[in-house]
Amino acid sequence: SVLREDFRLEPQSTRVSAGEDVVIECQPPKGSPDPRVTWRKDGKPLSVEGRLRMVDGFSLAISQSRASDDGRYQCVASNPAGSRESAVAVLTVYVKPFMIRPPSDITALVDSTVEFSCAVGGDPVPDVLWRRSAPGGTMPLGRVRVLEDRTLRLERVTLMDQGTYTCDADNFAGAISASAHLTVLALPTFSTRPSAQTVEVGQQVSFRCKSEGSPTPFLYWAIEGDRALLYPGAEQGGFEVTDTDGVSTLILKEAQIQNSGTVVICSAVNNAGSASTRTRLTVTSKEDRPPPVIVTGPVNQTLPINSMASISCEAQGNPAPFISWYKGGVPVTSSSRLNMSIPNRITITGLQEEDTGPYTCVASSRFGKAVWTGYLLVANPKNPNINFFKAPEPPMLPGAPGRPHALNQSEGSVTITWGANNKIGSSSLLGYQVELFGREENVTPTWTVVGRRVPGTTFTQHLLTAGVPYTFLVRAENAHGIGPPSQLSEAIVVGPDSTQNWGNPEVTVLSEARANLMTPDVVKLVEGIALSSTAIKVSWMISDSTYVEGLYIYYVSLNADSSNPKGYSMLTVLHTGGSSSFTVNNLEKWSSYQFFLVPFFKTVEGFPSNSRTIKTLEDVPTEPPSHMEALLLNSTTVFLKWRPPAHSLNGELQGYRVEVRTNGTDVARGVNVNKIPNLMLNNLTAGVSYYVKVAAMTKAGVGPYNAEATLRLEPASRVIDNTRRPLDRHPSGDFITETWFMALLVSMVSVMVFLFVAMMLVRRRQLANGKKSLTPRTNGHIVKGDSAPSQPPPLWLDKSAVPEYSANGDRNTPLPDYARACAGIRRDSKTLANGSIPEYHGSINLQANPLHPEFSRPESLHYSSEKYYPIMGKYKDYSCMQVQEYASPNLHPEKSDDYAEVNTSGNNGGDNGGKTSPAPYATTTLVAGAKKILWTNFAQSCSASVHGVEDPPYPSLNGGYYNRKVYSDSYFSPTHTLRRPKRDRERTNHHPPELVSPSSANGSVYARVGPPGGATTSSWRSANGAAPSMSSFAPPPPPPAISIYQGPRSEPENML
């Protein structure tokens, strides 16, 4: 066995950070057999297991190194030949810095001291460095230092120290940082305080108030005794508040006498604390105005003879006072030496001894008067015993003191106080002069000096009358004289009910309660905790509950700007001694409220507490998303888009919940979407209906879903059209593609087609039956016999017998048997209104329908429009057609259908000789069916007398007269027909028929359609006087047997 001495690779010392992996390499010496390698740590065998393992056969690997792995490692190689030990490798495990006590956020008041801790651990010990991350500036040197435990101390903090402070710790293994924020609070302070106001009735009065603090204080106004808060935008009892550049102004537009004595309170609250200031409004009437006040009056002077003296008197008042002068009780008048051109000044030149005396200035108005007297001494300048001096200049006099106000009062007495003026003049201050005015009965309204050279700034006046308002003013006095007056005090009323005088600690329980409650920090609002989305619990602490009867809990709903509230509410909680919290319910969800407390005792309200801003907890949204739209991207993808809930989100939006289900299943597939209101739906199947609904989510949960929207990708719409389709409602046309709807639609169409075909068949059968069952009306006997059915009745014309209507007949073949063609017909070139050229043939006689006499007969037949008579074809010239107008109530009265008279007479020539024809007479009407007769031209009368035409042939293109239904329109005697009287024929061109008797004796019947010609045409008969014959229309032989049945009306058994 062999084992060499030297290791091929010795272990090396290594440094690692805790948590890292490390490998200590080792290559043992060569030997035979191969040596076995083991490891030692700190001289002890090392068990290689768990995090320790052998790699590459001999190296030691340590996973996730720890501080306990730190030590001395040695590689040992051994075989039967012996063992060898490697050099010692030192493994040093460094620990990254970690926070033991990181800094935390601190909220501190101005001028306080704060400390940020930064206790860190690590191996080696980390170095700690503090830095400030704030836009306000760098670390405040001189007031900051780092303690031995790495704590940062900041002394006498200011608002500028507010910001973020960061602790950085690092060593060889790494680095770590921690930050904390410093919030500096400043108590509210007033930079502008409201001052007491005294106004007359009807005037406008305003109070100004401005506060500062951190955070920005909530400033509000209140009227003592009224719990309502007044802030910008609010109005109460005639008061309104405006805010301009941070200055809040309380305005009363028209002060009334009942507003006198109103105590106005301006308060400011924030998280640090509160501040409150009070003042008083005094409203007086004109009768209560004090008398004028003399600002500077005459002073004592000693002047030599022949010198000049100036005596002045300045007064003020409302209205402006009138000044008059007196000397020894006698009014002063102007003279050569005495000038009174200026009312408030007397100038005397060339002084003489007789000018010596007291000069009195009297300032008067209708509200009273003020009197001031000064003594003038005129002496010989050579007199050594006289000390000459003149009136002092204004700077030599002391300044005006502060406004006096009541400090203490009782029944019949009052103690006032005022502020001293730093300007004392050219000599030392001797004291103060106190003047009083009270409008008492039988007392002249004037100012009375009640105190001279008062040494201090307080004065007590006794023997006052109860219920009388008194006003005070104060003047300072030095060796040079008396200075100007102070502002007038408020009107002070003494008496048993002295509570109406504000600012006076009374010897009553209310005065003691006011003094106690007006001290700061009587009540402190400790904290506010949001219990739910609609409830907040507030807790407080009372320092002195002697005069705390209860608390007013005010809470204001805040906008983004805390200084502009949306509204406020107030609750009253009685203090029972053990209560220190209250839960406010029915709040808005996820809304910020500012709470503060005001203690009270009976009618006295105390100093407000600090405020706390609390926000209610989140809740699920109360409204669903809206305006869902779908955008088709490709054949299987749709892009959905919607709008978040407009209101009532009730929290911070976390995202959306989208549920999609297919038709025929109740299982929905849900997916959460981030705050962006859209979603891409992929892998959609054409022809499948998808139902989509969306809901908004907050931390509290998922809100309501919107109405389920239907999304359907039709196979035909697999084209990218980039069209947004609203999905808020179910598409109205989605059911069209359903199978049931298609089956219903096919069934409905089939039923409609079947009904239409059936209706047409029934109609056709009715028409056929109608042709077989025509029932003309008669007023004669019922004729019944054994005539053959194929034989037509006498009045029915056989068209086939007329060459014009025969199938084989030539239309150009002349008709010698019964008519001659009208030769040489004159045609006038006249155009109709529709543009067609009419063909003029014979005259047409238009007669009224006897069934409808209300429809008059037109004078002529004009077809000027296609509305009633569309012109589609032309007609032959048939001049001997008599047409009577059939006035149907269903047709236009001027454009009604034509009605023709069919007349029967014998076929023999000559005159009828007054004989009547035995053939029946019938008047028939040609009624248009569903379609009107199509006219293109109509006949113009041709002169039969010129051309010798008796009876024109029957028309062949007349719209099918003989295919129409014919029925009797009137009832006439069977032995008469209509013939027009001769006198009527001579007067007019129209030929209405009159009753005539048929002249045929042999029973032959002929039918005439159309009237005879007009006045210019041929007569009814031919030139030889015989009636024109129509042999082709001879009636068939009479039936073999005729049975006559008498009756009022008859119906033929068989007509066709």
Cis geometry, peptide bond prior to residue 33 (ω within 30 degrees of 0): yes
Within 10 angstroms of residue 627's Cβ, the number of other Cβ atoms is 14
On the question of pLDDT at 712 being above 90, the answer is no
Q: What is the pLDDT of residue 283?
A: 85
| Averaged pLDDT score across all residues of the chain | 75
Q: Parallel, antiparallel, or unpaired for β 174-192 and 262-269? A: unpaired
Q: What is the pLDDT of residue 841?
A: 41
Report DSSP letters for 638-657, one per residue: EEEEEE--SS---S---EEE
Q: What is the pLDDT of residue 495?
A: 63
Give residues with Cβ within 8 angstroms of 987, minimum separation 6: none
Q: What is the pLDDT of residue 724?
A: 54
On the question of pLDDT at 103 being above 90, the answer is yes
Decide: 631 and 638 in contact? Cβ < 8 Å. yes
By residue count, the chain amounts to: 1056
What is the rounded distance in angstroms from the CA atom of residue 861 to the CA atom of residue 938? 9
pTM over 0.85: no
- CA angle 608–574–523, rounded 5-degree value: 30
pLDDT in tens, 753-799: 999 999 999 988 888 887 665 554 444 443 343 444 444 444 444 44
List the domains of the chain with CATH numbers. 2-94 (2.60.40.10), 102-184 (2.60.40.10), 193-287 (2.60.40.10), 291-391 (2.60.40.10), 405-487 (2.60.40.10), 510-615 (2.60.40.10), 626-737 (2.60.40.10), 798-1035 (no CATH)
Residue 620, amino acid: V
Decide: 347 and 325 in contact? Cβ < 8 Å. no
Closest CA to 1009 of 965, 969, 954: 954
Decide: 41 and 10 in contact? Cβ < 8 Å. no
Calculate mean pLDDT across residues 220-231: 88
Q: What is the pLDDT of residue 751?
A: 93
Q: What is the pLDDT of residue 632?
A: 85
Alpha helices in 661-738 (DSSP H): none
Q: What is the pLDDT of residue 855?
A: 44
Q: What is the pLDDT of residue 289?
A: 82
What is the gyration radius of the CA atoms in the chain, in angstroms?
Answer: 65
CA distances from 997 to 370, 903, 904, 923, 1002 (A): 142, 11, 10, 14, 14
The strand pairing partners of 77, in sequence order, are 37, 84
Of 401-405, 966-970, 1012-1016, which has the strongest mean pLDDT? 401-405
Q: Establish how many alpha carbons lie within 13 A of residue 690's alpha carbon, considering only the half-sphere containing its beta carbon.
A: 24
Calculate mean pLDDT across residues 653-669: 88
Q: What is the pLDDT of residue 679?
A: 92
Q: Given pLDDT bands bounded at 50, 70 and 90, which one contains residue 864?
A: very low
Closest CA to 458 of 494, 416, 492: 416
Calculate mean pLDDT across residues 259-274: 90
Flag the least confident range among 125-129, 192-196, 958-962.
Answer: 958-962
Closest CA to 621 of 579, 656, 595: 656
pLDDT in tens, 116-133: 999 999 888 899 999 987
What is the rounded distance in angstroms from the CA atom of residue 488 to the CA atom of residue 659? 78
Calculate mean pLDDT across residues 301-328: 93
Decide: 406 and 416 in contact? Cβ < 8 Å. yes
**What totals of helices (H) and strands (E) does the chain contain, helices first?**
4, 69
Decide: 562 and 528 in contact? Cβ < 8 Å. no
* Residue 833 structure tokens: 């209104």
Render the burial of 835-872: b for 16+ CB within 10 Å, e for the rest: ebebbbbbbbbbbbbbebeebeeeeebebeebeebebe
* Residue 49 structure tokens: 């297991």
Q: Given pLDDT bands bounded at 50, 70 and 90, which one contains residue 364?
A: very high
Q: What is the dihedral of CA 899, 905, 909, 912, to 10 degrees?
A: -110
E strand spans, 890-1000: 898-902, 922-926, 966-968
Report DSSP letters for 968-1009, one per residue: E-----TT-B----HHHHHH-S------B----SS-----B-
